[in-house]
Structure 1
């Protein structure tokens, strides 16, 4: 639990992210022409000093990822992460079984960028819309990294001095007979956290008067 959030606020973020991830799953279902099941989000708020150990625990192997910067009522960096050795399998599920490994490899980065853009934007846009806020996202970037170095990739350059906290959302993808553990990570600039918390409090206050 983050010291920045009350129990009600923490529960609200989980609920809103669950809605966003659900919408992302529907979008992914259309891409793979198959039902996609996602686990309930496991949400943790961590300071950078403790986040690296958490990343290594949940994601021990090499990772493939897509990240996007975002700004608005909260500012930071979002990332979709999954095991590097399963990335081609995920791309194959999206592009179709009849494509060769060579064809899949050529389209891997473009496909993963599109996937990350859809999933991350669904989550961020849903969070912003439900809270009646505005958010903008940059173009997605593809990267590969080992868990010990993941934090450096996700932390904003100007925030390397522990001025961010990590909102880590762990989800599990299930595509028919394929199982792929994926992760959504959000690095939120602490300078925008006050606006983020204020939006949560305003939403909760409106619920009490309805």
Structure 2
């Protein structure tokens, strides 16, 4: 599926606004300056994304997933390579907290960060397009990319971004997985916004 340059520009701007909003909320949460780089946006089919990730050295990712329903429905996910997840936990919990930090605290920390980022991004898309969304509670999993994106025939928005905090660069990606019908609804809303 090919998007027009205007559709891509609007999608990129919606994601940028959401990422900016999420960065502001994360700054308050960890009480340190977090900068989220403007993400590079790509629209891929699930098999294209799986091929792209197959070339990476580590096949297991830490992921927070947030399902959403409404005029368009799907799953948004914030995924980190393991080393980025560990760095993020270190920064959020403080370096001294790591040795004693149990698995549930690590999971809760990543879930909270993922929830903030994904709500920021999805909330901005929903608000600007005037399409209310309902969310399920976030889930945390460690899995390969195929398990994270599932076996659908939809389209995936991939926004690669970097968190900069306390001299650390942490790589992460926001994936928004739509069914084909939902993706068509999203593009219809974007076209209506552009025409308005």
TM-score with structure 2 length normalisation? 0.92
Structure 1 stretches of 5 or more lacking a match? none
Q: Secondary structure at the match of 1:182?
A: strand
Residues 5-24 of structure 1 aligned to structure 2 (within 5 Å): 5-24=3-22
Counterpart for residue 154 of structure 1: 149
Deviates more, 1:88-97 or 1:124-133: 88-97
Runs of 4+ in 1 over 3 A off after TM superposition: none
In 2, Cα distance between equivalents of 1:103 and 1:48:
35
Deviation at 1:106, TM superposition (A): 4.1
- Check conservation: 1:16, 1:126, Cα contact below 8 A: yes
Counterpart for residue 23 of structure 2: 25
Deviation at 1:39, TM superposition (A): 1.6
Counterpart for residue 205 of structure 1: 195
Deviation at 1:128, TM superposition (A): 0.6
Counterpart for residue 124 of structure 2: 126
- Check conservation: 2:91, 2:166, Cα contact below 8 A: no
Q: Secondary structure at the match of 1:101?
A: coil
- Check conservation: 2:84, 2:172, Cα contact below 8 A: no
Counterpart for residue 94 of structure 1: 92
RMSD in angstroms over aligned alpha carbons? 1.7
Q: Please give the per-residue CA displacement for 1:44-92, whole angstroms capped at 9, x wherever unaligned.
A: 11112211112234x5323111111111121111111112133233123
Deviation at 1:110, TM superposition (A): 1.1
Residues 36-51 of structure 1 aligned to structure 2 (within 5 Å): 36-51=34-49
